[in-house]
Amino acid sequence: MHSLIRILSCLIVSILLVSSSAGCGSSESGATASQNGGITVSSAPKGSDAQTEYMSYTQTAELNDSYLIQLKNELSMSNVDMDFVNAVIEDHVITADEMNESERRAISCLSKYDMKPGENFWFIKNGGIITNAADHTPEESHQITNECLDDTAYSALKNVYLGAVRNPDNIDLEPYRFQCYKDYKLIDQDYSYEQFQQELDNGKSPLSYIRSSSTPGYRDFMDCTDDPLHHMKSK
């Protein structure tokens, strides 16, 4: 995990609230219903890693003890609806339908503030939200995020769901990320894992050339960091 943090620190990554009007704008786009009951938006802010499909999860995540502990810890700071959470995880599983319902609840909450996916907000694939900073004050944005992403349990459930689908046994992913970087030819093929780790420890990431979504290899890099075991069927 520490290696991944050091690598990602070389990128300009937006985690929570990002302005879609300051250098990462996109054309106005609405949402259309998809065949599986979800919705699809036609575009996302440039340079972002935003979702374009919503309520379209298809896989089941089985939660081992480590993921249940992670979920409990993430929920400890929220004024969350535990009845919903307990109903979801009582069988130690988050089904695709349950994850889609969690996302629907978050979207419904945001709609109270006249926010619509693909128009004035986008969820980030790995957690967080992109909004237009001009729409709300920082205090209002913080309140909306707490209410609609945290208190609905959407953020915590999504984090655990993605983790359990991509890494069912919650193993150390760093060696697999390294091999994935080599498979995609993002780093020199002669690198050993020990050399790679030493470079990171010295603050000289071999991946520092990947600075934005416009850099060649960015999508492969994100696939390796997010899902090096290649378990996620939808991206």
Tell me if the pTM is above 0.85: no
Render pLDDT for 71-122 as a digit per residue (tens, 0 to 9): 999 999 889 989 999 999 999 999 999 999 999 999 999 999 999 999 999 9
Torsion of CA 63, 128, 12, 217, to 10 degrees: 50
Rounded CA-CA distance 114/181 in Å is 41
Query: Does residue 213 sit in helix, strand or coil?
Result: coil
Helices (H) and strands (E) in the chain, counts: 9, 8
Reported as half-sphere exposure (CB side, CA atoms, 13 A), residue 148 has a value of 25
Out of 13-17, 104-108, 161-165, 221-225, least confident range: 13-17
Position 49 scores a pLDDT of: 86
Higher pLDDT, 140 or 8: 140
Higher pLDDT, 181 or 46: 181
Q: Write the DSSP symbol of residue 54.
A: E
Structure tokens of 78?
Answer: 């929220």
Helix (H) or strand (E) holding 164: helix 154-166
**Residues linked to residue 17 through DSSP beta bridges, in sequence order:** 129
> For residue 181, how many other CB atoms are within 10 A of its CB?
23
Rounded CA-CA distance 233/235 in Å is 7
CA of 141: how far to CAs of 47, 130, 190, in Å? 21, 11, 47
Percent of the chain having pLDDT more than 70? Answer: 84
